[in-house]
Amino acid sequence: IPFLRILITHLSYNHLPKSIFKEKGTIVVLFQNPKDRALLFLHFHNNGMQSVPSYSSRDEFFSGFMTDLWGSCFDPAVTWNKHIEDKNTVVIIYEDLKGNLTASVKQITAFFGFSPTAEQMQAIAGRHTFQPVSVKAQEIHGAVGLMLFHKAVFGDWKNVFAEAQNQKLAAKFTVCLEVAKMGVKFKYDVYCKA
């Protein structure tokens, strides 16, 4: 593949090809707060994707999510925490991206060594909001594209999970990430407290 290629993946750090780290690959890692991530998993599992199980209730889903049915929901963040200061890696938090797209785009472009003009920044920000990206996903992926995008609203977990479930997620976050650099980046007190 020619120089300056972009590859997008959901692979965890441990499943990425080792050549990415040996051959000067540059990595942008995007994370979302754990509670909204759980909600997206629920949405994905219950919207007709035949290759993944659906759940009869939120409680059934939550039980699987919290008992490491698919591996710990915090494993990717715990693993990337070990590499958060690697020179070839930048970690972006979805809520920061959504809250201030221009600042996040500046952070990403600076990381890659680009200096876009104000007009280019505006064009990037306009093309990469939820609506245009979700429409493009439908065009490219059809029905699966609809499942890849939910509401693009953070904090929606408050409307779905019961208080006891929120407390279980908070306790797991505390055990896995609270004192980690990645945990600080999540701004748990801002994005995950009711």
The residues that are catalytic are: 10
Count of residues making up the chain = 194
Rounded CA separation 20/181 (Å): 23
**Tokens representing 94?**
């979805």
The torsion defined by the Cα of 63, 78, 29 and 16, in degrees rounded to 10, comes to: -90
Distant-in-sequence, close-in-space partners of 58: CB < 8 Å, separation ≥ 6 = 42, 160, 161, 162, 165
User: What are the DSSP calls for 102-119, one per residue?
Assistant: HHHHHHHHHHTT----HH
**Tokens representing 58?**
């939120």
**Tokens representing 184?**
């600080």
Rounded CA separation 112/108 (Å): 6
